[in-house]
Amino acid sequence: MAQAVITDPKETETVEERVTSGTIDTDVHPYPNTITDLTPFLSSRWNQYIEQSGFKGPPGTQYPKGYEMAGRRDAWPPNGQRVGSDPDFARQQLLDHWNIRYAVLNPLYGHEKVHNDDFSIALASAINAWMSAMWLDNDDRWRGSISVTANLPEAAAEEIRRVAKDPRYVQIIVTVRSESPYGKRVFHPIFEAACDVGLPVGIHFGTWGNNPITAAGWPSYYLEDHTGMTQAFEAQVLSLVSEGVFEKFPGLKIALIEGGFAWLPPLMWRFDKNYKGLREEVPWLRRLPSEYILEHFRMTTQPMDEPPNPQHFLQILDMIGRDDFLMFATDYPHWDFDAPDRALPSVVRGDLRTKIMSENAAAFYEFERA
């Protein structure tokens, strides 16, 4: 399922034969082609800084992917630019070809890895301005996620309040591998700003910190890094609930993006069990941890957890206990793209399929209001 070819938008098969109309894609990645794409949105100070220093962009991943930029071969634009940099090509290949109603853009530029705080803040603002001009103005089906410097929460909160005035932005985006868990009080300005502007926070696979993805140190291979990503997501869920973030910010909504979902039921079972014996340590919690999770979190489908027996997929959803919890995502234009017609097992039918493919995201992101 996850290895479906994106295919050429010019092929003769109709969209209606592949997927029902109105699909909402909650994870699409735009990338600047080069740093020069951002220079129009940076001050003269930072343009001079870039010219003098030879800065080409933030440092890359510690684990080179099988393909550059983790992009599918057929997702590279014909104009020769880098994958995810051409909104016209992405519109044809994704929105038009698959009859996408809305697609949420999650930029992962990596500006948080820049140690010059002022430059990192400027790059985040430039990414938002670039995405507004080049992507959101390109097609009204694109919706934006606000890039912030999560390691500088006060600056992040200021950027959230500034950019959220544009109703085309439906989320704040941060990456899951942080220097410390997001439940810590230092990050509360981000959540306060999110609640003030009425937007959810998306926690996406990726890193701005220097921590390995495992508690046992750095693995050797991208296979380990990609498969083990759930560990970082579990840590953030545990932190956000245990630290009482949802008691302090009862309106906060969190989307866990590109982290899988099959791991959630056993985590909730263990969390609830341990809470019953250790609740004195977290007296601010008024409910079972699983109740906070099911109320405040949602998860995206990609990368799709695919048990060999498709019926087990339905059992996982039953264990989660909510049919509004999963939201469809393609992860375009990456190598593990999930095509809308093949992402879900065939046993997912009717209203449940419609909820996952569109209705859950429409409700979570309040698209009709936007």
* pLDDT per position as a tens digit, 43-62: 999 999 999 999 999 987 77
Average pLDDT over residues 118-132: 98
Structure tokens at 199: 């937007």
What is the Cα–Cα distance from 170 to 166, expressed in whole angstroms? 9
- Phi, psi angles (nearest 5°) of residue 283: -65, -15
* pLDDT per position as a tens digit, 310-333: 999 999 999 999 999 999 999 999
Per DSSP, the three-state class of 65 is: coil
With bands split at pLDDT 50, 70 and 90, how would you rate the model's confidence at 63?
Answer: confident
Of 6-15, 20-29, 174-183, 227-236, the range with the lowest mean pLDDT is: 6-15
List, in sequence order, the alpha helices (H) in the chain: 44-53, 87-90, 117-131, 153-163, 188-197, 222-227, 230-242, 245-248, 264-278, 289-296, 310-320, 350-354, 360-365
Say what percent of the chain tops pLDDT 70.
93
* pLDDT per position as a tens digit, 194-220: 999 999 999 999 888 788 888 888 889
By the 10 Å C-beta count (0-12 exposed, 13-18 middle, 19+ buried), 5 is classed as exposed
What is the Cα–Cα distance from 67 to 12, expressed in whole angstroms? 28
Average pLDDT over residues 98-123: 96
Fold type of domain 17-365:
TIM Barrel (3.20.20)
What is the Cα–Cα distance from 29 to 32, expressed in whole angstroms? 10
Place of tokens 């545990």: 238
The pLDDT, as a whole number, for residue 8 is 43
The pLDDT, as a whole number, for residue 369 is 57
The pLDDT, as a whole number, for residue 210 is 80
Q: Whole-model pTM? A: 0.93
